[in-house]
Amino acid sequence: MAERRRGRRRRSRKPARGLRRLLRTLALAGLVLGTLLGVAVAGYLFYLDRTITSTFEGRRWSVPAVIYAQPLELYPGAALNLAQITRELDRLGYEPMGSVASPGTYKRTDQRLQVHLRAFRFMERNRASQRVELTFDGGRISELRDRTGRPVPLVRLDPLIIGSFFPSHGEDRLVLTPEQIPDLLRETLKAVEDQNFDEHAGFDVTGILRAAWVNARAGEIQQGGSTITQQLVKSYFLDNRQTVERKLREIAMAVILEARFDKTDILDAYINEIYLGQDGQRAVHGFGLGAQYYFNRPLEELSVDEIATLIAVIRGPSFYNPFRHRERVLARRDLVLDKMLDGSLIDESVHERAHAMPLKVVRGTRTGGAYHPAFMDLVRKELGEGYPEEALTSEGLRIFTTLQPDAQDAVERALADTLTRLERTRDLEPDSLQGAVVVSANQTGEVLAVAGGRSAGFDGFNRALNARRPIGSLVKPVVYLAALERGYNLASSVNDAPIYLEQPTGTWSPRNFDNEFHGPVPLVRGLGDSLNLATVALGLELGVDAVADRLGELTGSPPGNRFPSLLLGAEPMTPLQVATLYGTFASGGFYMPPKAVVAVLNETGVPISRHSLDLEQRIAPEVAQSLGRGLEAVMLMGTGTTSRFARAGTAGKTGTSDDFRDSWFAGYDDAHLSVVWVGKDDNSPTGLTGSSGAMKVWDEIMTHLGVRPLQHPPEDHLQTVEYSTGLLADAGCAEVVTVRLPDDAALRSKPGCGINLRSLGERVRSWLGND
Amino acid sequence: MVRQRLTSPRFHLLLLVGAVALGGCVGAYQPAPGERPPVVDPSGPPLAEPIPAPPPGPLPAPAETRPAPVQNNAEAPTLALLQQSQRAADGGDLAGAIAYVERAIRLNSRDAALWLRLAGLQLQAERPATAEQLAQKAIALAGNRDDQKRQGWLLVADAREAQGDAAAAERIRERWRTFRG
């Protein structure tokens, strides 16, 4: 019995003991698991906390670098007319109004312009907003006064934003400080997106229920249940996939954010972060950039209806795209306006007026944030190694550049229009021609405009910087320069006669464009008419190496070709390199590396680098003047005579490569140097010469820019010679050009011209009245 | 390119107008119409050849000044910017002073006086090589303004000296010592 009992007990105890053990094991396991889970959850929460906190802190002021164009300088005496200035004001988003009560407005009357300038933090100092009045007379500003009528010597418009260096994932934004955010925006956002924002702890059950109810009744998604905080979290991690895990994580992060930061900070972060649209590759984030993108104005200048429009877009920037779905956006904007009224954020009359407003979004690549990718490449190149990607995309740098929006527009339009016209008039396939242009300021080398192709806003292959094409006759001035430096002058004679040269590749016998031989010609004509044989003869006299070395010194990179074909431009260069070469000619002999950046300021406005004017004399001034006279002769007498501006005080050189594959022109007046290339991307012939192709583009550019005739510093040693012979002559009896000759140049005069055979020195002295 | 007789009075007048237009806005020296250009241009690598005797004194005023049609007339703003530059320099802000002068150069880039000022500031900022080239630029733009040429060469001398070439500096100064602007 005892056995049995024991046995029974044992039997009964056995399972009991097993159960206990099981329970104990389970409990232990549970404890371990629970602890593990707890640790895991805690770890996960810790991880979430770290992630969201650092993202929030990091993103708050992480701003892509903003790039500014050159500000337009206004002063009495400036050759700027009313139309040019209003065009710039329109680009900047200034509004034409009946009165100029607030910054960002202007009023135009007959020959008068009132402008209420915006405040702007310039490179040197801050400029407060101010009112000025301009009067015009004869195509220039005649008076500039402040609001009290006092004359002002000069004032700048704020510079146009021409882009930003947003990170590779495409987010761009302009961060607003809390003071720049209107209360109306904050309050309306809460009313529309998150009614319980001020109370909830990151997520909002009533909000979710309300949204569910509304959506169920409507049978479609009309309201989102996400709080502003949740939307902010979602926006940080750029993920729209709706899974339970993600939703939970989003809620957890939202709760953490709420626990760690102020409501206002969160709301302001949201205002700077929320996705508002897509501009090509660039994602428009935040109301600062949103205002620029849709209205081309700073947020603080937006009216009630415009703020409502931006808020309307949040719900679905593609569904509510104001450029595409105007009616839809208008309807939602009015809904937002109603919410403003309901929340007593605006009064009845404001509501009524705003309601009556049309949708005022402005479209166009030429508005704020307009992109000039070709110029931006140059900026990037110039900033180079000094600025790692990270610094450019997140540190809020402000980069001031040399771009002149008016010149840039002129260049883009001139190139596109002229190529289209050339294709039409010359029976070429539409869109088969390509082109590139660089325009710079003669004396400073600052690049004012760049076109990398015929569709300017398109961020594709940048021919201005990267297309290396044979420069053809554009090389010739270097040959003549080397000759002038060797003691030749423009009236010196060179023989334009057949040339046969034994080369490793066979006999090289260049020809003239007209297949003729012109015999002895003065240098000025060899250059002016771009005579191949005369130029090769001259180059061979000097030595190909000498010319190659000189070209290398003037461009900063030695040519690869050191054979006689170099003398005719069988050497590829980019339009930007050609601009450097001709910049040295146009500046009177000073080499200037192309310059696009003036200064880089950090986010607090402190300059962290300045790119001062830099140049180096590489041609003696008197030689540069001589060569300049030769390039003027190109326009007056040579291959440039068909230009609209041949006789307007300009200088230049045409260039055509073999089989008409490349059409080049480099030309300048007193202010602007332009280099134009026209050709095809597949390098097939276009049938265009330098003057029938690229020079036409230049004509168009100069028509827009306005020609400023070349001003000569007082020069001595000048003489007029007959263009075709180099004989002394005057305008009364021959086609003459003015050249610079050394004192001892013994020239014959053209028979029958009635010029006394006096030495040039005597002539110069008598001309100066110092006999 | 001027396609007319050099002996014509119109050309002479044009030359005078050019000289006046070129005379910048700074400095008390007034451009001298009809002033004889130096026989030898002293620019370029110096310095063994003799120096032109600078021309003397008072000259008649130009009969007419006619600005070219689309040329800016930027004298007043240039002056204002130079004053701002001076204030910045006085306050120890050399970089700011340079920025103001560069702004002026953008408006009036053929004014030798501005390049002289920029060269001086770069010299102060201890960038003598840059300063030397800027002074050369000023000299090239000075035309027949011998006072500006002299200033330019003296800046070149200072820049040379700052770069360790005291001998060249002394030679240049010696050449321009006798000249009064």
pLDDT tens figures, A394-446: 888 899 999 999 999 999 999 999 999 999 999 999 999 999 999 999 999 99
Contact A711 B36 (CB under 8 A): no
> What residues of chain A lie within 8 A of the CB of B141, using their CB?
588, 713
Find the closest chain A residue to B6 by CA distance. Answer: A767
> What residues of chain A lie within 8 A of the CB of B88, using their CB?
124
* Cβ atoms within 10 Å of A62's Cβ, excluding its own: 18
Residue A578: its pLDDT value, please?
A: 98
Contact B134 A615 (CB under 8 A): yes
pLDDT tens figures, A147-169: 999 999 999 999 998 888 877 77
- Mutate which: A141, A154, A623, vs B, most B CBs within 10 A: A154
Contact A615 B137 (CB under 8 A): yes
Please, which pLDDT band fits residue A223 given cuts at 50, 70 and 90? low
Chain A closest-CA separation from residue B70 CA (Å): 6
pLDDT greater than 80 at residue B32: no
Residue B37: its pLDDT value, please?
A: 34
Find the closest chain A residue to B33 by CA distance. Answer: A714
> What residues of chain B lie within 8 A of the CB of A144, using their CB?
none
Instruction: Give, rounded to a whole angstrom, the gap between the first and last alpha carbons of chain B.
Output: 31
CB A155 within 8 A of CB A71: no
Q: Which residue in the set A153, A613, A718 is minimally distant from B102, CB to CB?
A: A613
Q: Can you say whether the dihedral through the CA atoms of A562, A568, A573, A577 is positive or negative?
A: positive
> What residues of chain A lie within 8 A of the CB of B15, using their CB?
714
pLDDT greater than 80 at residue A323: yes
Helix (H, G, I), strand (E, B), or coil: what is residue B170?
A: helix
pLDDT tens figures, B99-149: 999 999 999 999 999 999 999 999 999 999 999 999 999 999 998 899 999
Chain B closest-CA separation from residue A437 CA (Å): 21
Sequence length of chain B is: 181
Q: Give me the mean pLDDT over the A523-528 stretch.
A: 97
Please, which pLDDT band fits residue B66 given cuts at 50, 70 and 90? very low
Contact A766 B7 (CB under 8 A): yes
Q: Which of A105-114, A531-540, A602-611, A616-625 is predicted least confidently?
A: A602-611
Contact B1 A629 (CB under 8 A): yes
Q: Which of A12-21, A72-81, A334-343 is predicted least confidently?
A: A12-21
Burial class (CB in 10 A: 0-12, 13-18, 19+), A427: exposed
In angstroms, rounded to a whole number, what is the distance separating the alpha carbons of residues A67 and A16? 80
In angstroms, rounded to a whole number, what is the distance separating the alpha carbons of residues A739 and A723? 10
Q: What share of chain B is helix, strand, coil (3-state, %, to 5)?
A: 55, 0, 45
Query: A142: which DSSP letter?
Result: E
Please, which pLDDT band fits residue A239 given cuts at 50, 70 and 90? low
Contact B37 A76 (CB under 8 A): no
In the numeric block, which tokens belong to residue A58? 């990091």
Find the closest chain B residue to A81 by CA distance. Answer: B70
Helix (H, G, I), strand (E, B), or coil: what is residue A286?
A: helix
Does this complex have an ipTM over 0.95? no
> What residues of chain B lie within 8 A of the CB of A720, using their CB?
3, 5-6
pLDDT greater than 80 at residue B39: no
> What residues of chain A lie within 8 A of the CB of B130, using their CB?
612, 614
Helix (H, G, I), strand (E, B), or coil: what is residue A126?
A: strand
In angstroms, rounded to a whole number, what is the distance separating the alpha carbons of residues A488 and A398? 50
Please, which pLDDT band fits residue A770 given cuts at 50, 70 and 90? very low
> What residues of chain A lie within 8 A of the CB of B73, using their CB?
76-78, 140
Contact A443 B18 (CB under 8 A): no
Question: What element of type H or E holds B134?
Answer: helix B128-141
Residues of A with a catalytic annotation lie at 193, 473
Contact A738 B3 (CB under 8 A): yes
Chain A closest-CA separation from residue B108 CA (Å): 10
Contact A613 B118 (CB under 8 A): yes
Q: Give me the mean pLDDT over the A481-493 stretch.
A: 96
Chain B closest-CA separation from residue A145 CA (Å): 13
Instruction: Name the residue among A137, A6, A133 with its Cα closest to residue A79.
Output: A137
Contact A73 B100 (CB under 8 A): no
Residue A13: its pLDDT value, please?
A: 53
Residue A22: its pLDDT value, please?
A: 84
Chain B closest-CA separation from residue A694 CA (Å): 23
Contact B1 A632 (CB under 8 A): yes
Please, which pLDDT band fits residue A174 given cuts at 50, 70 and 90? confident
Q: Structure pTM?
A: 0.81
> What residues of chain B lie within 8 A of the CB of A599, using their CB?
99
pLDDT greater than 70 at residue A369: no
**CA A303 remoteness from chain centre:** 29
pLDDT greater than 70 at residue A524: yes
Q: Give me the mean pLDDT over the B158-179 stretch.
A: 92
Counting one residue from A and one from B, how many pairs have CB atoms under 8 Å apart?
A: 158
Contact A706 B143 (CB under 8 A): no
In angstroms, rounded to a whole number, what is the distance separating the alpha carbons of residues A623 and A260? 72
Find the closest chain B residue to A627 by CA distance. Answer: B1
Please, which pLDDT band fits residue A391 given cuts at 50, 70 and 90? confident
In angstroms, rounded to a whole number, what is the distance separating the alpha carbons of residues A226 and A242? 12
Q: Give me the mean pLDDT over the B25-49 stretch.
A: 35
Provide the strand spans (E) within A233-291: 275-279, 282-285
pLDDT tens figures, A16-41: 777 888 888 888 888 888 888 888 88
Q: Which residue in the set A154, A444, A446 is minimally distant from B80, CB to CB?
A: A154
Chain A closest-CA separation from residue B151 CA (Å): 17
- Mutate which: A70, A72, A73, vs B, most B CBs within 10 A: A73
> What residues of chain A lie within 8 A of the CB of B133, using their CB?
590, 614-617
Q: Spell A446-455 as b/e; 16+ CB within 10 A means b.
A: bbbbbbbbbe
Residue B5: its pLDDT value, please?
A: 37
